[in-house]
Chain A
Amino acid sequence: MPMRDSFVQSRRALLRMGAGAGLVGVAGLPGLAIGATGGEARFVLVILRGGMDGLSAVPAHGDPAHASARGALASPPPGAPGGGLVLDGTFSLAPELAGLHRLYGAGEMLVVHATCSPYLERSHFDGQNVLENGTARPYGADDGWLNRALAAMPAGGSDRDLGVAIAAQMPLALRGPARVTSWSPTIAPPVDADTVARIARLYAERDAALAEALTRGQDANAMAGSGQGGQGRDPFVTLAEAAARFLTPEEGPRVAVLEIGGWDTHARQLGAYSALLRNFATLDAGIAALASGLGPVWDRTVVVMATEFGRTVAGNGTDGTDHGTGGAMILAGGAVAGGRVVADWPGLGPRDLLEGRDLRPTTDMRAVLKGVLGDHLKLSRAALDGAVFPDSSGVKAMGGLLRG
């Protein structure tokens, strides 16, 4: 397996200058799974498809090499025109992520930087496959780590859907043995309730299996709400609101998966027409909608935003970035012990970069996911090292990510 030396936990010099922090991975024991309000923990995975530029989302403006390494894409320091929102002495946040910045201030958002899945090549397709299958290689499993986590969860109860994908097709991350469902807004014209009721009655008379499926489908639609986006709203916000409606009821699913594409920004990351900046704003609005929709359930929720790989540190010839390696992962939620950037920062100097071009990954994404799943969904270490992330006992769960 292409485990490059960067993953061998050679804890290199920590460049981080923020207050107090340090490596969280070593210290910190699992916290309490259940938030202050009681009730079951909730988990949301947001898959950022296309390779999010982690250094644009969370610029390392305090790295001495930042300006030279990033060139035109370098973020001005916080306070300067166009500068980011300050996180600490080293890191800032893209201004379009203002909502996430507020959560950071409230201690409900945390960044893990210089992280990557065990996949270290540069194909979207294989990268997303690894991000979701939970092994160290493409096609290493034909189901997903999140579903296997549900299956391994103590006493999850199998008479209900344990997970929901807000997607037309079940993402690989949520495919597997545990009972899950999916919902997506339709492209079909609206239906009239009377016709649906007549069909449901016919199913009840003639076909128990169809009747049950339709009932569940109607329930899901009721839970998801109308699914109609207002004028000018981004569909992702609508999907996030739907996810909140699924997760809020006590008997609702434990986990949800959301997807947002468009991160493959090979060109024009800057300026008024930047798809990347627009995507940041969309993501930010979606997380805000999720938090607001979850209400008190937010307190016992962890949201993980993850992408298949980061992008090149330097811009390419078209003010964009090409496929890279290390990137940023964002955790949000009331259960997150936030207000920190966790990074074994490799640095942006010419000799620090992987292959001279990419942010060197120093944290295996699975360490973060294991930390969250173990502390939040109460998965045993054996399950995490085996069924959920096969053959990963060498990747230690990162502790202390959640409020204890």
Chain B
Amino acid sequence: MAPSQSALLAAAIAANRFGLGARPDDLPAIAEDPRGWLKSQLTPETELPAPLQALPSTLEDQLAFLRWLGKLRREGRAADVDIENQRPGGGTGGAGMEGEGFSVERSFAAEFGPRLIAAAKARFDTAVTTQRPLFERLVHFWSNHFVVSSAKPATVAMPPSFERDVARAHAVGRFEDLLLASTTHPAMLLYLDNVQSVGPNSAFARDPDPKASRNPLQQRPTGLNENLAREILELHTVGVNGGYTQADVTSFAKIITGWGYRAPSLRLVGQAMMPGDLEGRDLFAFDPEKHEPGDHTVMGKTYPEGGFEQGRAVLADLAVHPSTARFIAFKLARHFIADDPPPAVVDRMALSFRETGGDVRAVMTALIESPEAWTAELAKFKRPEEFLVSTFRAGPGPALPGPAVLAIQREMGQQPYYQPGPDGWADTQDRWMGADAVWKRVEWSIATARGLATAARDPASLAAAVLGPLASAETLASIARAESPAQGLAILLASPEFQRR
């Protein structure tokens, strides 16, 4: 029995608004139970998606960086080996490739460029091929909430493994687990500088260990660094208006002094040969020598001295704070539904967050069951990555080589794993609908359509297959009037219904 129009509409919304775009044969199956199809994806992954399985482990990523530094040292380039000093000129990672002779930048690009390209391609291929697109969307969401960017030299190789250890491992789990996995991950501790933070009254500050500077990943510590504490409050948990003060930031920063990681040792490398590679948290280490002693107060609650547990207790409280519930609910609703999401939906999600102690699955269920989430109006403008992925889900496109995956997304302003700052990619239309950005989307719609046109079915039926009832009469008419299949496909991919979700 053919599904009803209303069931097809819900299926199209499920596949596009909550997923990564419909594949040509998706909608009839989803139409049987659109909400159930989404909820069935709110379960942990049983195994890594195939494209990700070949990627290096977190430990390997770290070792690669250390090996590279060590190699420079052996070659007598120690003067150049300063952790913050290693960066190809320009913001794109590709500069400094020309010329001859040695350059730190060229060496850096040669070592890490291929790794980043492979990781970008694996992320893209996973998104294009996944049967659990809502789960994948949540992976992307959390790795853009807990951000580690390759734009920072010290963490250039780490975002893919950070994403796997944190966002992918806990995508539909408890928020507290996400927060703890993020905050104890070497990539985050490096990205937001906590490895450099030293308690002013710690044993270390009173008697600095001269050996510490020998670790090339740890610069000579200089005192308290508030960066991670501030961003946890402002960006990860309660939000900028969540009710904390500068004094809370300073106290919290003191509490998490000593949170760092052990540099990979031979012992760890040996362990990694065992089944199950080491994750970021396995590399975490608490250094009591650098920890600021004493009781400290954060947001009205005093946490007694307790080493690592003191910070863990703050995270546990922050993870279920009402401001966090509201902040996360709003951010999820904004991501899936609309730049300005309906307050009632946010309220319901925040309530669910509070009632369940931050169970992502419950919060997402509240969103899926909200009628406001199923309106036919396409309020969200896809970000470049979402647009490109949905294009390749719509048809058997030309296989994109890794460098092209990176280059196209960079041209559209969203180079994978390269968020400009710890606040991540913006999630509102005004940041993505610039003149040049839209022009480039139109260009790529036309270019991609040429690649698809040879293989794909005719554009009108493809429009019906991937947009269902979301396709407007105007779009269908324009496709019908197209002078060639390629032009019709270009119009489909560029159409407002395909650019939005």
**A214 and B407 form a contact (CB under 8 A):** no
Interface residue tally for chain A (C-beta within 8 Å): 64
List chain B residues, Cβ under 8 A from A198: 478, 481-482, 487, 491
A117 to chain B, nearest CB (A): 15
Contact of A268 among B100, B407, B440, B444 (CB under 8 A): B100
Contact of B496 among A184, A210, A220, A273 (CB under 8 A): A210
**B101 and A267 form a contact (CB under 8 A):** yes
**A202 and B474 form a contact (CB under 8 A):** yes
A202-B496, A206-B475 known; A182-B436 Cβ under 8 A: yes
A49-B95, A123-B84 known; A214-B439 Cβ under 8 A: yes
List chain A residues, Cβ under 8 A from B100: 267-268, 273, 275
Interface residue tally for chain B (C-beta within 8 Å): 61
Contact of B95 among A50, A207, A319, A320 (CB under 8 A): A50
Interface hits, B79-123 → A, CB 8 Å: 79-80, 82, 84-85, 87-92, 95-96, 98-105
**A169 and B91 form a contact (CB under 8 A):** yes
**A210 and B436 form a contact (CB under 8 A):** no
The proximity string for B residues 458-501 relative to A, scoring 1 for CB distances below 8 Å and 0 otherwise, is 00000000000000101100100111000100110011100110
Q: Counting CB contacts under 8 A, is A191 at the interface?
A: yes
Interface hits, A123-172 → B, CB 8 Å: 123-126, 128, 142, 168-171
**A318 and B101 form a contact (CB under 8 A):** yes
**B439 and A123 form a contact (CB under 8 A):** no
**B85 and A323 form a contact (CB under 8 A):** yes
The proximity string for B residues 215-228 relative to A, scoring 1 for CB distances below 8 Å and 0 otherwise, is 00000000000000
Interface hits, A239-292 → B, CB 8 Å: 259, 261-268, 273-275
**B483 and A202 form a contact (CB under 8 A):** no
B230 to chain A, nearest CB (A): 12
Of all chain B residues, which has the CB nearest A121?
B84
**A186 and B440 form a contact (CB under 8 A):** yes
Interface hits, B420-444 → A, CB 8 Å: 421, 429, 433-440, 442-444
A262-B96, A262-B99 known; A199-B90 Cβ under 8 A: no
Q: Counting CB contacts under 8 A, is B332 at the interface?
A: no
A166 to chain B, nearest CB (A): 10
Q: Counting CB contacts under 8 A, is B410 at the interface?
A: yes
List chain A residues, Cβ under 8 A from B444: 188
**A213 and B101 form a contact (CB under 8 A):** no
The proximity string for B residues 311-352 relative to A, scoring 1 for CB distances below 8 Å and 0 otherwise, is 000000000000000000000000000000000000000000
Per CB-CB distance, the 6 closest pairs between chain A and chain B, nearest first, are A267-B101, A217-B439, A50-B89, A275-B99, A216-B435, A207-B496
Q: A206-B475, A318-B101 are in contact. List 17 more A-B contacts (CB 8 A).
A: A122-B82, A123-B84, A124-B85, A128-B89, A128-B90, A128-B91, A181-B436, A183-B436, A186-B411, A187-B407, A191-B442, A195-B491, A199-B494, A213-B438, A214-B438, A217-B437, A261-B90
